[in-house]
Chains A and B, each alone.
Chain A
Amino acid sequence: AQRVTQPEKLLSVFKGAPVELKCNYSYSGSPELFWYVQYSRQRLQLLLRHISRESIKGFTADLNKGETSFHLKKPFAQEEDSAMYYCALKTNAGKSTFGDGTTLTVKP
């Protein structure tokens, strides 16, 4: 069975500081990995997916199959980045498993 672990429930950084939200997964197949974000009073929405290898709102995430990780990084955090972040793994059968989420707070 697949599993997604986000070890930090809460993460607090100052504006302008680098931030890294950790995500580890276990899955025997070829994983599809995503980061979703939920801003205050908004719906859960996609932030980025591993296949795109893109930077969204300054965030990047690299899939490391050796370490089974998909950590989310941003070099300079902004106050508007404060939100709940979920790492998700989608299996070959199309089912998505979510981590417990990390609440990021960026302090001024």
Chain B
Amino acid sequence: DAMVIQNPRYQVTQFGKPVTLSCSQTLNHNVMYWYQQKSSQAPKLLFHYYDKDFNNEADTPDNFQSRRPNTSFCFLDIRSPGLGDAAMYLCATSSLGRNTEAFFGQGTRLTVV
């Protein structure tokens, strides 16, 4: 029944080794978001897509990139993970329009060793 699916649930990567996290949705939502959440902190928006239009947050490091090849899939690429990038990464979707809520995936917990 899961509508927003993130793979994998847990990812361990080496310092500096590129890693890709994936998200898929069955809701056909126009908007997809990537959030970074560190322990005891609020989810922090990294970027989002309106359909194919990419919107980067001003303070998102260049190390973080994203791809959305179609409506259903969105990827988060971390080009050179550092120890400070260890976090939970949340994917969410929403439809367009006012007062529409976000639907979240289970998250991917990234560990950098």
Contact = CB atoms under 8 A, between A and B. Distances in A.
Interface stretch (A11-19, A40-48, A73-81): A40-48
A98 B106 contact: no
A94 interface: yes
B70 interface: no
Interface stretch (B17-25, B78-86, B97-105): B97-105
A50 B100 CA distance: 11
Interface residues of B, number: 25
B43 interface: yes
Contacts of A95: 45, 48, 55
Contacts of B103: 45-46
B45 A44 contact: no
Contact of A43 (B31, B42, B48, B106): B106
Contacts, number: 53
Interface of A: 4, 9, 32, 34, 36, 43-46, 49-52, 86, 88, 90, 94-101
Tell me the dominant secondary structure on chain A's binding face: strand
A51 B40 contact: no
Given A9-B40, A43-B104, A43-B106, A97 B45 contact: yes
B42 A96 contact: no
A101 B42 contact: yes
Contact of B104 (A9, A32, A44): A44
